[in-house]
Amino acid sequence: MSTVPPLPDTHGSIPNYLAWSIISTVLATCLCCPLGLIGIVAIVFSAQVNSKLNQGDVEGARRASANAKIWCWVATAFAIIGLLLNIAIFATGGMEQYVEMMQQMQQVQ
């Protein structure tokens, strides 16, 4: 019985950041605004990493991984900004003022 030794891992571990890209996109879109959908770019690059590795394009996979990481940070930044804005709005009673303003506008019409 001969066992074949595993092939050496020539490309190392190239992260795809798929989970981070999905979570940051959802949070950025929910907490911030439609600009959070820019995280879809991160999801696309994340999905390209494994595809490129399967095709043997190690350098392309590294580029896709690096781009995915950048866009994950952008989406994460939008999520943080949105969270801080929501905290500020609720802390200052801004939501009540907004509702009152909307009611006044509806009465005028």
13 occurs within a structural domain: no
Is residue 10 situated within a structural domain?
A: no
Q: Is residue 5 part of a domain?
A: no
As a whole number of angstroms, the distance between CA 54 and CA 39 comes to 24
pLDDT at 32 over 90: no
Residue 39 resides in a domain: yes
Domain count, the chain: 1
Using one digit for the tens of pLDDT, what is the confidence trace for 41-86? Answer: 999 999 999 999 999 999 999 999 999 999 999 999 999 999 998 8
Contacts of 50 (CB under 8 A, 6+ apart): 16, 61
Per-residue pLDDT of 53-63, as tens digits, reads 999 999 999 99
Do 68 and 21 form a contact (C-beta atoms < 8 A)? Answer: yes
Q: Is residue 44 part of a domain?
A: yes
Is 2 part of any domain?
A: no
Answer whether residue 6 is part of any domain: no
- Residue 40: other Cβ atoms inside 10 A: 15
Is residue 2 scored above 70 in pLDDT? no
- Domain of 47? 18-108
3-state secondary structure of 32: coil
Residue 11 within any structural domain of the chain: no
pLDDT of residue 84: 92
